[in-house]
Structures are given as C-alpha cells and as structure tokens.
Structure 1
Amino acid sequence: MARSNIAGMIEDLIAPLIGGMGIELVDVEFVKEGNRHYLRVFIDKPGGVGLDDCQAVSEKLDVFLDEKDPVPYSYTLEVSSPGIERPLKKVKDFERFCGHKVNITTFAPVKGSKKFTGIITDAGSRGVNLDINGSELFIPMEQLASAKLAVEF
C-alpha cells in the first residue's frame, strides 16, 4: 500500500510523539486539494478517540512540526479518528482485528477477483487469511491495495 514520501517522513517523525501520549497513529496523508495542501493525521486508542484527544494531538503536533519544519509547503493540519471504516495498513492492524469483517481490494486479481469481503481469520507478514462465506482465502501482503473494516449494523 503506497504512501507519499512526505506522508511517510511525517509518520516516522511523529509516531514516537503520539505513541508517548498513549495514542495510536493509524495513518498519515499529505494531499493537495485544489491549491491547498492538507496533512491529515488519523489517531485511535482503545475505546475510541474524542475531540479532546484530537485537540491535544493537534496542539502537540502543531508545535513539533513548526520546530522541525519538515514540509516545504504551507499546509493545513487535520487530526481525526479513522472512522468506523478504519483503514488497515500494517500487519499489526490485521492481527488486532482478527475476527472482524473487512473489505479488501487487491492490485491484481486473486482467484479471479480484486474485491473481497470477509472475516480475518489469521494475519502475518506474509499475508491475510479471510473467511469468505465459509471458504478460506489467502491474500499476500504485497497484493493488498487497500483494506478497511466493514461496517456492520
């Protein structure tokens, strides 16, 4: 799953800072929309994050990023929860959400399809096992284009 060089650099810089606050760094995006740049930081913690958590992380990052000045553009910082369709990006994300339903898209077809919905039964550095209506499917990590928790009501 690809990410921009700036997003990757920022993630590496801020992960220890956010982790030290007892909050998980889920993802970092650096995007240009129209003529503006946005640095989006997605955070989570057991029980979920609230506005106070987002504000505390935003204030801490604002000072930290102003000191480090790692981005060569002016940008707007946004800190938020990953939402109910949380993206799964790292092996530890897939391991944590074993037993949960996910929507996965692959770069190339796996057994004739590129889109899958199933329950994570196992995950590791090699890939993810899904139970899709009683059938097991293994998807190699290098084939994962995107993965998100599936909304269940």
Structure 2
Amino acid sequence: MAIQLDEIRAVAQRVAGSHHLEVVDVEFSGGAKFRTLRIYIEKDAEGRAKLAELAKAAEAGEGDEEAPQLPKGVPVEMLSGVTHEDCEQFARDFGTLLDVEDIIPGAEYTLEVSSPGIERKLTKPADYTRFQGSLVKLQTFTPVNQSRQFQGRLTRFEGNNLTLDLAAVKQKGKARKSAAAQDQTVEIALSNVEKASLIAEI
C-alpha cells in the first residue's frame, strides 16, 4: 500500500500549528513489520523569536534563573527550541489523528518525533534564506565545476541560486581540486541540490 507523505505532512502541520510548532521534515522508512515514521519539529517563528530574546538576555547577564539553559557556542538560529514535552504532546495528538483517519494503512509502525538537530537538513527555499551565513554541506544532481559534493559557508541565496564560500571549509576529493583551480566561491541552482544540511560550528 502506498504511503502518501504529502497527506501525512499536511496532518502533521495541522497538529504542529495547534502546539505553536512547525514541521521541518517527514521521513518514512522500512517495510513489512518494521516501518518507522519520523517527524522533525521545531518551535514556530514566534517561539524561535522568544528563544533569541532569551539568548540575548543571557549574554547580557539578565537571564532568569528559571529560563531554559541554551547550549554555549551554538548560534541561536540553529536551535529548534523543542523540548521533550513538546515532542511527547505532538506525538500523542498526531498519532491519535493518524489512527482515527487511518492515514497509514497496513501493519503497525513506529512513530518517532524529535528536533531536527543542529546539523539539520535544508529542505525548502526558506531554509536557505534563514541560514545564510551558516556552514553547509550539499550534494548536487549534476556536477558543478566537476564535483557533486560541496562544503562551505552559505553567503547568499537569491533568485533560487545559492553561493557557497568554499574557503570556509577544508575541501576533500574532487571538490578540493576544483576549489584550487577555480574561484573560492561556487554558485549552485537550488533545483540542482539533491540534498543539503547544516554543519555544526561549536
């Protein structure tokens, strides 16, 4: 039986919105008896703004002792702000809705809900806008400057093209030879990005 990820994502977003959360990514893997549905969530824009305010207050020494402790050295924009309680509440409500609406037919499956982590995937154009200035690694569908693997700092995202500063990360393999022979920046069309994720800077 085919699993409709778009339908699952729509239901997940509906539930997430009621909890002031956003869905970052949806994955469904496995087969037969060992199927796993993974949902990655984060606080919504308002929740992330509050997190940024907490971080700024903590830096200024004005933090509330009861405020959640933020990891040192991690840019606040990379934090999801999601707690264990957020994941539990979302999983309970989302799981119930999936069962009631019978969205995942067939045998049992395992539902896993978590934050996307600091090395999160970049899955939509808004991610590239939001994480400009961050280190990223990506793979393209077709080679650019004779390479499909890149690591660098995302310096710009404009007109569905992204620019990476390759000098920000030590390159490997073909990418290193390409970077040595070419300019230290590369422009890649978003439509040519097969997969991309952040690189943690701690």
Could you say which TM-score interval applies, normalised by the shorter chain? 0.7 to 0.9
TM-score by length of 2: 0.68
Q: Number of residues paired by the alignment?
A: 150
Say if 2:15 and 2:90, in contact at 8 Å, map to a contact too: no
Tell me by how many angstroms 1:62 deviates: 1.3
Q: In the alignment, residue 111 of structure 2 is paired with which amino acid?
A: L
* Structure in which a larger fraction of residues adopt helix: 2
Amino-acid identity (%)? 35
Q: In the alignment, residue 149 of structure 2 is paired with which amino acid?
A: K
Tell me how far apart the structure 2 counterparts of residues 26 and 39 of structure 1 sit (CA, whole Å).
Answer: 14
Determine which structure has more spread, i.e. the larger CA radius of gyration: 2
TM-score by length of 1: 0.88
Q: 1:51 to 1:143 in 2, by over 3 A?
A: same
Q: Structure 2 residue aligned with 1:67, among 100, 103, 107?
A: 100
1:72-113 deviation line (CA, Å, top 9, x unaligned): 232111101111210010001111111111111111111111
After TM superposition, list the pairs within 5 Å mapping 1:50-89 onto structure 2: 50-73=83-106, 74-89=108-123
Q: Structure 2 residue aligned with 1:133, among 161, 167, 177?
A: 167
Tell me by how many angstroms 1:34 deviates: 7.2
Segment drifting more, 121-130 vs 98-107: 121-130
Tell me by how many angstroms 1:136 deviates: 2.7
Unaligned stretches of 5+ in structure 1? none
Residue 151 of structure 2 is aligned to residue 117 of structure 1: yes
Moved beyond 3 Å, runs of 4+: none
Tell me by how many angstroms 1:141 deviates: 1.5
Aligned-residue CA RMSD (Å):
2.0
